[in-house]
Amino acid sequence: MLSSWPCLKGVELIDSLQLQNATLETDSLFAFDILEKPDLYTKGPKLRAKLSECHTLIKKNGITLSSITSVENKFTHFLAKLAMEDVDDEYEDVLDPPPGIETLMKADISNTTHE
């Protein structure tokens, strides 16, 4: 379930920003599985309710889920790795971009525009 949590939070963020027809990229194939077959993976009523809410938000906002490998998405992979290195904190605001992130973002953008 942990690997699908960022996907669920991404759907909530898209809804809170009132974005329409957004694409949410994830390298978690489990996120696709749990959204497609929640009964197979979930036993608790709270998680089922969360997944039901997620389905509603996906339909409401016209969100498309897209699979991308971490190799193709260096920017996200970098941020995920950075977050995992600091597992002691429950939540931390990042006020300034981490060093080197701009280079990775530009590389990812140039890769998607040339394909």
CB-CB contact of 74 with 107 (8 Å): yes
Residues 8 and 58 in one domain: yes
- Looking at the fold, whether 79 and 106 belong to one and the same domain comes out as yes
Q: Which tens digit of pLDDT belongs to each residue from 75-103?
A: 777 777 776 676 565 555 666 777 888 88
Asked if pLDDT for residue 14 goes beyond 60, the answer is yes
Tell me, yes or no, whether 86 and 61 share the same domain: no
pTM of the model: 0.61
CA distance 62 to 104: 28
Are 54 and 103 part of one and the same domain? no
Beta pairing partners, 23: 64
Give the rounded distance of the alpha carbon of 55 from its chain centre: 15
DSSP state of 3: G
Domains of the chain: total: 2
Query: Can you list the alpha helix ranges (DSSP code H) found in the chain?
Result: 5-16, 29-36, 38-41, 45-61, 74-85, 101-113
> Is there a contact between 12 and 24 (Cβ–Cβ < 8 Å)?
no
CA 22 to each of CA 5, 10, 43, 65, 97: distance values in angstroms, whole numbers, following the listed order:
18, 11, 30, 9, 23
Q: Which domain holds residue 14?
A: 2-67
Average of per-residue pLDDT across 20-29 = 85
